[in-house]
Amino acid sequence: MTNINCSAKCNYEQNGKCTLNHVGVTSDVMGYGTDCAYYTPKKEKEKVKPSSQTPPKIQ
């Protein structure tokens, strides 16, 4: 197992380390302007909008 430091906002970055556990053929080695051929940008999590409805009253 390798220990690769990573500071990119990537799907494989976790706590400053790369968690990618397999390698493969890449078609776009430097397409995102990073130093990593396997960089995959993290998707922003959708924020849950608070409900405008009032909760039902308990009797």
Q: How far is 11 from 42, CA to CA, in rounded Å?
A: 5
Indicate the average pLDDT of the chain. 76
In the prediction, which pLDDT does 16 show? 92
pLDDT above 90 for 39: no
Q: Which two tokens stand for residue 33?
A: 């302007």
Give me the residue spans of the domains in the chain: 1-23+35-42
In the prediction, which pLDDT does 43 show? 80
pTM here is 0.55
Q: Which two tokens stand for residue 56?
A: 């039902």
What are all long-range contacts of 1-9, with beta carbons under 8 Å and residues at least 24 apart?
6/36, 8/34, 8/36, 8/39, 9/41, 9/42
In the prediction, which pLDDT does 44 show? 72
Query: Could you read off the pLDDT of 4-28 as tens digits, one per residue?
Result: 898 888 888 999 999 988 877 766 5
